[in-house]
Structures are given as C-alpha cells and as structure tokens.
Structure 1
Amino acid sequence: MNTLRKLIHHEIWIAVAFVTLCFLALFFFFDFIDELPNAGGNNNLYQLRHVFGFVLLSVPSHLYELLPITVLIGTIFVMSRLAKSSEFTILRTSGLTPLMALRSLLGLGLAFVLITFAVGDYLAPVCDRYAQLLKSKYLGTQIKVGNTGAWLRESQPQQKVFLNINRLSADGSPQEIRIFEFNAAGEWVALSKAAGAQIEGGVWQLQQAERQAIQGGVDTQRLKITQQDTLAWPSEITSEMIAVAILKPGRMGTVDLFQYIKHLSANGQATQRFEIEFWKKVFYPLSCLVMVVLALPFAYLHSRSGNITSHVFGGVLAGISFFLLNNVFGYLGNINNWLPWFAAAAPGLLYTLASLAAFGWLVIRQ
C-alpha cells in the first residue's frame, strides 16, 4: 500500500507543481506588462528592477488563489492518465480499493491544505504589504484610501471616537488623520488633526497636530485650538486593524481579521462582511480536499469515455465554476444576511457532495 501511495503522490506532486508554475508564469507576465508603463516614473527612481520586484511580490497572492484550481487540474491529469494507460486498473487488481484510493488522496489533499493556509495566512499578506510599500516609495505616490478615507470607530471611557485616515505613507504609517470625539450623550467635544502618526505600543504619536476642543460649562463654552509638533493619543487601534480597513479583507491573515471583527463588535459596528471573509479564509484551504475528491472519479472512467485533454478541460471548468460560486455565495451571504460560516462553506459542501456522489456512482457501476 505504501508503494502505491508513493507512486500516486509522486505523480500528483509533479503534475500540480508543473500546472502551478505555468499559471504563475502566465500571471507574472500579465502583471509585468501591466506594470511596465510605470517604469521610469518619479524622475526615473522607479526602475525596471522595482517593477520586477513589485510583480514578484504579487506572486504569493496569485499562488494562494490558484492552488485549489491547480490541485484539481493536476490531480485530474494524473488520474485520467492512469486510467487511460490502464495503470489504475492494474493498481486496483493489486489491492487498491476505492476506500484506500480515497483515503490516500485525502492525505495528499491535507498537505495541500497546509501549504495553502501557510501561503494565504503568512506569506501573501506580508508580500502584498511590501509590494505596496515598494511601489509607493520609489514611484513617489502615497496609498490613497478611497474617496473619503478609511473610517474606524473606538469606544473609550466616557466618549466615542471616530478615526479617519486618508492616506498611507511609503513606510505604511497613517497620514492625513482626523479624530472626532463625542461624549456619552453624542455631543461633539473635540477634533484632532495630524499630518501623520507613528503607532507605538497602544499610543499614537500624532505629528504636526492641531486639536480643537470645547471647554467650559453650558453658558461659558468656548472653542480652544492648540497646535503641537507631537501629541500622544492612546488608542487600541493597531496598524493591523488599519490594514484590514484599507486593504481587501481577503488579503489579510486570519488572526488579524478575527481581532478586527472583535474590535468592530465591541464598538457596535456591522461585522457581516468581515465575518464572511474570515470564514472564507478558514474554509478556502480546505477546498484542496474538495478538489482531490472531485478528481478521483476520473480514475474510474473508461478510456473510451474521453481523452485526457477533455478531462483536464472539464477540470478547468469545474475549478473556475467553484471559484465563481465561492465569490457569489460571499456576496449573497452579505446581501441576505446569511450565517457567515454557511455562506463561506456552502460551495465546498456542494462540490464535496457532488464529487462523492459521482465517485460512488462510478464505483458501483464498475
């Protein structure tokens, strides 16, 4: 059994690696062509090597998105080739039962799950951040945060705070900051403006700060304006929370997303969208298991039922449909207020049931 498992696993590893490399090369070429016009910008500071570095740092994100699809295509290719050459028939006569084949592929799928999780949770977020900072530093542009900036809310003792960040600098620090403070009755009490800030251990060091605050009683209220080079502002909002608010939630790590959801929930803000993204981050690596199960029935197809090319093409279509369905369920779950875990897990469950049904039917027919 170990010999059979090593044979199948070895073939699948090679096929998946080859398919993944081809897809990554294709995406690298498209990204490079798309970024090439920026070369020579900012008085020729943004050179060709920076373009190459930016595109190279974008590869882990593509790898994370492509892995389930390439696992499906590579596994289908191997299973179809084994069926076409009657090698799988020989393996079956050698004692490879359907349950053993399924268990063997699930073990291999678990390895792909761990790789996908590591890439999506650790490698891709770091590379994405460095890619943006690299482009911002040498191209001379700041990272614009939408039309109105990123808004975050924080409840502090006896007051509520709304934080607005308009830009990120080349090193990732917040720029063009506005802090609105309201008392427990919902009345505005202060506004702080700053050109930038450095976050150090739960304290924001606001730079070139201006603070406008209402002082005095009801009858003697007056507006006091003070300006300081640096102003300390204690806050639990971290740079990771800012990154979640600014970047795509799907590009962030699972732990960062979970902490941001807790922050939103503690401040009475809507969390549906981010909860769906969190559960998608949890379930997406598991889709590799779904893909290997989906590919297994191709090993039980008769050689006359189609050639390898048609099987691989069918695998590509299945992978694309899974990717689209995964996105569609995310939007539908957000619109219809579905349970976040259900919206994230439903596509994988549907494809798992379909693949197991196809596998069971082919086994019984054979």
Structure 2
Amino acid sequence: MKTIRRLIYREAATGVAFVTLAFLALFFFFDMVDELRWVGRASEAGYTLSYALLYVALSLPAHLYELLPITVLIGTIFVMARLAQSSEFTIMRTSGLGPWRALRTLLVLGCAFVIVTFAVGDYLAPLSDRAAQLVKARRTGQISAGATGAWLKERQGDHSVAVNVRALDPNGHMRNVRVFEFDAQGRVASTVQAERGEFAPEGDGWNLEGVRRNVFHHGNASPGAPTSASGAGAAAPRVERLQEPNYRWPTRISTDMVAASLLKPDKMATIDLFQYIRHLEANGQSAQKYEIEFWRKVFYPLSCLVMVVLSLPFAYLHFRSGGIAAYVFGGVMAGISFFLLNNVFGYAGNLQNWSPWLTAAAPGLIYSLLSLGAFGWLVLRR
C-alpha cells in the first residue's frame, strides 16, 4: 500500500506542477503585454524592459496563490482519469485500495497542498508583491492607490482626525499629506497640508515638511461671559494661517497602516489584515471588506482539500480512447467556476453586508457538498 500511495502522490504532484507552470506562463505573458505600455514612459530613472520583466516575475507568487486550488483540481482530475483509462486504478482497487482508503490518501495529499497554499499566500506573495511595487516605484516615482491615495482615520481624545496620503515614494516617504482635524461637535478644528512626510523613528508621530496649517477659531464665548444681540462679549470667528518648514504631528498611525491602506487587501498577510481590522474598528470605520478578505485568507487554502475530493470520482469512471480530454475540460470549467463564485460572494457580501466568515466560507461549502455528493453517487453506490 505504501508503494501505491507513493505512486499517487508522485503522479499527482507532477500533474499539478505541470498545470501550474502552464497557467503561470499564460499569466506571465498577459501581464507582460499589459506592462509594456509603461516601458519608456516613466520618470528620469527609466522603466526599461528588464525592469518590466522583473516586476512581472515578482508578481507571479500572487497568481500562484490564486491558481493553486484550480490547478490542484485540474492536475488531480487528469491523473485520476489517466489512471482509470490505463486500468492502473483498477489494479490498485484489486490490491486493496478501497474508496475510503483512496479518499484518505487524497486528503493527505490535499493537506500538503493546503500548507503550500497558505505559505505562498501568507509569506511569499506579500513579500514578492512589496518587492514588485518597490521595483516599479523606483522607476516610475511613487506608489499610490486610486486617484486620491490612502485615507485613514484616528481618534485623539474627543477630536477625530482624517488623514489622506496621496502616495509613497521609493524611500518610504509620504507625498502630499493632508490632515483634517474635527472637534467634538464635528466642526473642522484645523487642517494641515504638507508636501512631504516621514515616520518618526520613535513611532509616536510624523515629521512633515513644507507645511501649511489652518487653525479655525470658532469664536465660542467663554462660560459666564456677557452676550448681546450684536454678539458683544463673544470672540469673533477667525482662521489662523501658518506656514512652517517642519512640523511634528503626533499620531499612532504607523508605517504598516499606511502601507496596508495603499495595498489591496488580497495582497496582505493574514496577521496584517487582522491588525488593520482592529485599527479600523477602534476608529469607528467600516472593516467589512477587510474582514471578508481575512476570512477568505483563512478558508481559501482549505479549498485544496475540496478539490482533491472532487477529483476522486474521476478514477471510477470508464474511459474510451481520447475521452479523457472532455473530463479535463470539465475540470477546467469547474475550477474557473469556483474562482468566479469566490469573487462573486466576496463582492455580494460586501454590498449586502453579509456575515464575513460565512461569505468567505460559502464557495468552499458549496463545492464540498458537490464533491461529497459526487463521491457518494459515483464511488460508494457503484
């Protein structure tokens, strides 16, 4: 039985590796074609073809994380169908490989793919994506998100602060920083505009350069001061305008929080997502999108287990010459449908405010029921 397990593991690993390499080559080609539009149009540093190739190559681990459950399904379907076509699986069955033992063998293989998917998604992909962004930033000038950059919120006593960082430069400095401070009544207390900013080494503030500050004095009368119809006794509202070459702004917003808001949630590690969600909740901001992505990070690697179970019934089908291609094509369609369903549930859960963990787990649960139904109908009943 140990020889049979080694044969299945070797064939499945080879099949999955072959399919994964084919898909990565396809994504590499498409990304390279898309990246060619930026070659020669960057800053004076020069975004050449070699840097475009490096950027696309560093983006491959993110594609690998997205593709692994799909390639596991296609690769194992191909292997199981080929073993059935060549009657090798029939020989294994006569040697004592029953349905439950075959299922247990594939689940062990699926656990290995789960570990690989988790390691790629939580360690390799975030590191390579940050390296890719750094390569592009050094040649194009900055890292930004959307038209207005990153927005963050923080509470400071009874005041609330909204912060906008337009972009990060290759050295980690912030560009075009805007800070809006609101008092307890929701009125604007002050605004700060800075050309450039950097995080203080102590971690308790930002050092801003080229600062323009506006301090709003709303003219509230002091307690007990006499008032009249003409407003005598009350200070007149005014705006104090200040220009300073350097300004120290106290804040608890760290480098990781700014970087997290500039990165897409699916590019972040699980622990970074969890910390960022806690920051958003502590400051009264909606964290629905990030919570869904956090639970997707938790459940997505487990979908490899679902895929190997879904491939097992193909070993019990009877194939004629050339009939294996149709089943492999069916596996491709099933993998693509899982990917689409995963994305659709993510968008729908964010719009409809569904429970984050249920939104993330629903595609896996649906395909688990399908795989167990196929296993019971095609394997146990035959």
TM-score above 0.5, yes or no: yes
1: CA distance between counterparts of 2:351 and 2:321?
42
2:208 partner amino acid: L
Report the equivalent of 2:300.
Answer: 284
Report the equivalent of 1:343.
Answer: 359
Output aligned runs, 1:46-195, within 5 Å. Answer: 46-139=47-140, 141-195=141-195
The superposition leaves residues 106-155 of structure 1 with CA deviations (integer Å, 9 ceiling, x where unpaired) of 1111111111111111221222222122122213x433432333221111
Q: 2:240 aligns with which of 190, 200, 224?
A: 224
22 and 216 in structure 1: CA distance in 2 versus 1, 3 angstrom threshold = closer
Q: Secondary structure at the match of 1:143?
A: coil
Report the equivalent of 1:252.
Answer: 268
Report the equivalent of 1:208.
Answer: 210
2: CA distance between counterparts of 1:128 and 1:84?
42
Q: Secondary structure at the match of 1:302?
A: coil
2: CA distance between counterparts of 1:193 and 1:43?
27
Residue 289 (structure 1) shift: 1.0
Residue 318 (structure 1) shift: 0.2
Residue 44 (structure 1) shift: 7.4
2:303 partner amino acid: S
- Compare CA radii of gyration and give the structure with the larger one: 2
The superposition leaves residues 214-251 of structure 1 with CA deviations (integer Å, 9 ceiling, x where unpaired) of 35962335433333333222222222222332222111
The superposition leaves residues 144-170 of structure 1 with CA deviations (integer Å, 9 ceiling, x where unpaired) of 432333221111112111111122223
The superposition leaves residues 54-91 of structure 1 with CA deviations (integer Å, 9 ceiling, x where unpaired) of 11111111111111111111101110011111111111
Q: Secondary structure at the match of 1:146?
A: coil
1: CA distance between counterparts of 2:351 and 2:370?
26
Structure 2: runs of 5 or more not aligned: 221-233
Residue 322 (structure 1) shift: 0.3
Residue 171 (structure 1) shift: 3.1
Number of residue pairs matched? 365
Query: Which 4+ residue blocks in structure 1 deviate beyond 4 angstroms?
Result: none
| TM-score normalised by L of structure 1 | 0.94
Structure 1: runs of 5 or more not aligned: none
1:211 partner amino acid: R
CA contact (8 A) 1:133 1:172 kept: no
Q: Secondary structure at the match of 2:301?
A: coil
Pairwise CA RMSD: 1.9
CA contact (8 A) 1:145 1:165 kept: no
